[in-house]
Amino acid sequence: MLVIRPIAMSDYDALHTCAVESGHGFTSLPVNEELLTNRIQHSEYSFTKDGVTEPGDEGYLMVGVDSETGEVAGCTGVEASIGWDVPFYSYHISTVVHSSPKLGVNNVVKLLTFGNNYTGCSEICTLFLRPSFRGGLNGRLMSKCRFLMLAEHPHRFSKTIFAEMRGVSDDEGNSPFWQWLQEHFFSIDFTMADYLTGIGKKGFIADLMPKLPIYINLLSKDAQAVIGQVHENTLPALKLLEREGFTCRNYVDIFDAGPTVECDARNIESVRHSFRSKVVIAEHTSADDYLISNTSFENFRAVATKAAYDQASDSVILAPDVAKALQVTQDDYVRMLSL
């Protein structure tokens, strides 16, 4: 059984392995000891921070752990409010019309406009599941556990939740979109730019990025073709978020032009349909699958498991090993989502 819990410093080696395996383009997991260590320390601070009444600089990073072997299967996270300490940049795709009635010319063209439009929003991020654990309910657990957290502790997160989706790049980490930018504005390759962003060295973006809107039809054909497209490995994650109600509002990443998707927290399907239930600990034979989390924040736990829910009594029967994994006892409450 896979159990989601807050990351701890003892998970450093496993997080480093995830960073290596995630490959190029996974900005939030740089292969850098200092940055990964800082990420863990900041998450530990965030989970234990008292008196939080609104989203701030908190960053919550969690790992999925095999309850039998103790092996870390992957990681997943939420940033409470981005863009305050380190700028968060994106491109917005807009449309303008160049028209001349006298000449009978009416051209519709699209622009990329540089900006910081997601400042203050909460970001779901750093979702990575190691290949040997992909299958069954693990992927849905790693993604949807964050929505149970949002539903149970809404005051810690903003009204708008967004996610940056990894854009198109090849096995060597080359991005067609970045190659055009590199040729005209930069002198560093995509992997270096991606790495510098991951370790927080974003000053070069503001220094070198074109400040005026870019006409998309002036880009190379290869660059135009990947705007708003996702890496093939990211397609399942995008489909899952789209089913949750996330949609692209014409914002894309400034490096690989991957789409940014967003949703009002209250309208996320898993938030809307999750519910609380009182725990009864006993063996059962139910065949119904649920995503279940405890109601603690500092000691957050979540699993995907079979459970027997009784609507009449608003209670759920959990097997003893599931209750132990969730760190709940008889008559405690859990948050549930039917799968």
How many whole angstroms separate alpha carbon 253 and alpha carbon 41?
Answer: 27
Task: Give 121-131 pLDDT, tens digit per residue.
Answer: 999 999 999 99
> So what's the pLDDT on residue 203?
56
The contacts of residue 271 (CB under 8 Å, 6+ apart) are 147, 150, 151, 265
Q: Which of 314, 312, 303 is nearest to 137 (CA)?
A: 303
Alpha helix positions (H), the chain: 12-22, 33-48, 138-152, 176-184, 190-198, 203-208, 221-226, 235-244, 269-273, 320-326
Q: Is 297 exposed, middle or buried (0-12, 13-18, 19+ CB in 10 A)?
A: middle
Whether residue 231 contacts residue 167, with contact meaning beta carbons closer than 8 Å, is answered with yes
How many whole angstroms separate alpha carbon 1 and alpha carbon 225?
Answer: 41
How many whole angstroms separate alpha carbon 156 and alpha carbon 50?
Answer: 11
Q: Is 284 a catalytic residue?
A: no
143-172: average pLDDT: 94
Radius of gyration of the chain (CA): 22
How many whole angstroms separate alpha carbon 276 and alpha carbon 316?
Answer: 10
Q: What residue spans define the domains of the chain?
A: 2-90+115-270, 274-338
CA 109 to each of CA 214, 215, 217: distance values in angstroms, whole numbers, following the listed order: 11, 7, 7
pTM for this prediction: 0.89
Task: Give 267-315 pLDDT, tens digit per residue.
Answer: 999 999 999 999 999 999 988 999 999 999 999 999 999 999 999 999 9
> So what's the pLDDT on residue 87?
82
Q: Which two tokens stand for residue 292?
A: 């279940």
Task: Give 6-36 pLDDT, tens digit per residue.
Answer: 999 999 999 999 999 987 657 678 888 988 9
Place of tokens 């320390």: 41
The topology (CATH level 3) of 274-338 is Barwin-like endoglucanases (2.40.40)
Q: Which residue has the higher pLDDT, 99 or 291?
A: 291
Catalytic pick among 155, 231, 273, 284: 231
Does pLDDT of 119 surpass 70? yes
> So what's the pLDDT on residue 88?
87
The topology (CATH level 3) of 2-90+115-270 is Aminopeptidase (3.40.630)
> So what's the pLDDT on residue 199?
56
> So what's the pLDDT on residue 150?
97
Per-residue pLDDT band for 152 (boundaries 50, 70, 90) equals very high
Task: Give 238-263 pLDDT, tens digit per residue.
Answer: 999 999 999 999 999 988 899 999 99
Q: Which amino acid is at 106?
A: N
> So what's the pLDDT on residue 288?
95
